[in-house]
Amino acid sequence: MPRQAAYPAIFKFEEKYGDEIYIVQSEEEVNRVAVAKIRERYADGWYPRVEDYEADLDRALDRLIKEFELNPETAPRSLEALHALKGSSDEASVAALFGMDVNTLKALPSSMSESLVDRAKLFVKKLTSTIKEYSSEIEDARDIELIVHSEKADELLKEHRGRTTNLARWILNARKDHEYENYEIDSPQLAPTAEQIESGRL
């Protein structure tokens, strides 16, 4: 059997109206095709902009703050603000979150103070998960805009968990599960030589 060749390879995008196929001869060509595809999709409006995600995050935080009946002027809207809110004790953190001093919190009936502590824990959990959910989307949107606007975008790299990869390839991989954004890179087999054909003759 002929050996499997790494390159040339087939770079196939599963587009809405049919596959789009490239023949690539090297990793560098794969990276250039990835950049070209990201720029094309960005220009066509496939990707939300950074400011769109940030606006969505702001609205989600507004809903969360309203749900917990917190003061919109003082409620934390970031993990840094949440960390800064913490006082010398859990009671101080809870009191600050609900806009009261520690003595007022301590003076409440135990059932009420315990309810506030539980609500504070739930708010912290929801705030953290909401910010983390949008942080990933915002980071990817920033990476996409970096690819769109940078010179030599095909040479940009992404560091993640101790590994380095091409940034454009990272974006394509991160979005493979999105509708019409799947792709494959297949290495075709080499055609058998005349000698290989002859050696297989019975």
- DSSP character at residue 4: B
Please give the Cα distance from 154 to 168 (Å, whole number): 7
Amino acid at 85: L
Please give the Cα distance from 33 to 28 (Å, whole number): 9
Please give the Cα distance from 61 to 128 (Å, whole number): 11
End-to-end Cα separation, the chain, in angstroms: 15
User: 33 phi and psi, to 5 degrees?
Assistant: -65, -40
Please give the Cα distance from 14 to 179 (Å, whole number): 9
Please give the Cα distance from 165 to 173 (Å, whole number): 11
Please give the Cα distance from 171 to 153 (Å, whole number): 12
- Average pLDDT, stretch 115-135? 93
Helix axes 167-174, 27-43, angle to 10 degrees: 60
pLDDT digits (tens, 9 = 90+) for 9-51: 999 998 888 889 999 999 999 999 999 999 999 999 999 999 9
Please give the Cα distance from 59 to 172 (Å, whole number): 28
What is each CA distance from 84 to 57, 60, 97, 98, 152, in whole angstroms? 20, 21, 11, 15, 40
Supply the pTM of this predicted model. Answer: 0.76
pLDDT digits (tens, 9 = 90+) for 3-12: 444 889 999 9
Domain boundaries, the chain: 9-47+149-199, 50-139
pLDDT above 60 (res 1):
no
Average model confidence (pLDDT) across the chain: 90
Hey, CA dihedral for 34, 37, 42, 45, is it positive or negative? negative
- DSSP character at residue 24: E
- Average pLDDT, stretch 50-70? 96
Instruction: Give Cβ neighbours of residue 171 (< 8 Å, ≥ 6 apart).
Output: 34, 38, 140, 143, 144, 147
Query: How far does Cα 39 stand from its chain's mean position?
Result: 18
